[in-house]
Amino acid sequence: MKGGKKRRRFERKYLPEFVYGGMDGVITTFAVVSGVVGATLSPAIILILGFANLFADGFSMSLSDYMSVKSQNELSRKLGKSASRTAIATFLSFVLMGLIPLLSFIIASATNSDYFIRNQFWLAIIFTGAALLIIGWLKGIVTEKHRLKSAIQTFVLGGIAAFLAFVTGKYISILLR
């Protein structure tokens, strides 16, 4: 029983990092996907830029999280959360959730499935939408707000970011022709 309580306390303690890293991972990776699709570039470019974003941005976020928690602990002169653990939680969440928008492109590339090749972007939209709803729901738990409202809000904000990236990719590709 004690182990179960300790595990739940640990999970709840790092849930904000999961939400923070996961939201940014899904949104920024899907924005990369949308921008590349808007520019009508190849799926190979989506994978290259998507994975570059996953690891570089995930590392940057985890480093920022580490420095923020470390500074907060030093400022208050007490130990709160472990800066290393929050950084790891943020990075893992970013990368794991950020992979979701790339799944259909990875599957299409690995299997040469006509279905996945034809529907890569639509499947990425569906996968990403589901991930945003789940992360938003979890955000509602962390913030102790209405979970459905939080899920819808996260979904809409992620959609806006993707739309902006798509339009930007589309118009820049037109300008460069």
Task: Give tens-digit pLDDT for 120-133.
Answer: 999 999 999 999 99
C-alpha to C-alpha distance for 109 and 42, rounded to whole angstroms: 11
Q: Check if the beta carbon of residue 81 is closer than 8 Å to that of residue 10.
A: no
Mean pLDDT computed over 161-168: 93
Other residues' Cβ atoms within 10 Å of the Cβ of residue 171: 12
Q: Quick: pLDDT tens for 11-52.
A: 567 888 888 899 999 999 999 999 999 999 999 999 999 999
What's the CA gap between 106 and 51, in Å, rounded? 11
- Give residues with Cβ within 8 angstroms of 46, minimum separation 6: 32, 33, 36, 37, 102, 105
pLDDT digits 0-9 by tens, 84-100 = 888 999 999 999 999 99
pLDDT tens by residue, 127-152: 999 999 999 998 898 888 999 999 99
**Distance in angstroms (rounded) separating the CA atoms of residues 41 and 114:** 19
The ranges assigned to domains in the chain are: 2-168
59-84 tens-digit pLDDT = 999 999 899 888 888 887 766 778 88
Q: Taking the CA of residue 15 as centre, how many other CA atoms within 13 Å lie in the half-sphere pointing to its CB? A: 18
CB 170 within 8 A of CB 42: no
Model pLDDT, residue 81 = 76
- The pTM (predicted TM-score) of the whole model is 0.83
Question: The tokens of 87 are what?
Answer: 């950084």
**Per-residue confidence (pLDDT) for residue 157, from 0 to 100:** 93
